[in-house]
Amino acid sequence: MPLGLLIAGSIAENKGVPLWFFVSGVVLLLLTLISALLILPQKADKAREETS
């Protein structure tokens, strides 16, 4: 958490808070999509095995 605050604080101070919110929002969306793409196929395979 302190490392995140250090990064966020310096970027927000140098480039502006709106840019920091935009960049962090895009990163969170990408992480969510990547996580979903990795987990959902595993769950689908498990559900298919249970119904067989």
- Of 21 and 1, which is predicted with more confidence? 21
Least reliable range by pLDDT among 17-21, 30-34, 46-50: 46-50
Query: Over 90: is that where the pLDDT of 40 sits?
Result: no
Residue 8, C-beta contacts closer than 8 angstroms, at least 6 positions apart: 20, 24
Task: Please state the domain extents for the chain.
Answer: 2-51
Please report the pLDDT score of residue 44 as a whole number. 75
* pLDDT level of residue 16 (50, 70, 90 thresholds): very high
Note the pLDDT of residue 45. Answer: 76
Residue 27 has what pLDDT?
A: 93
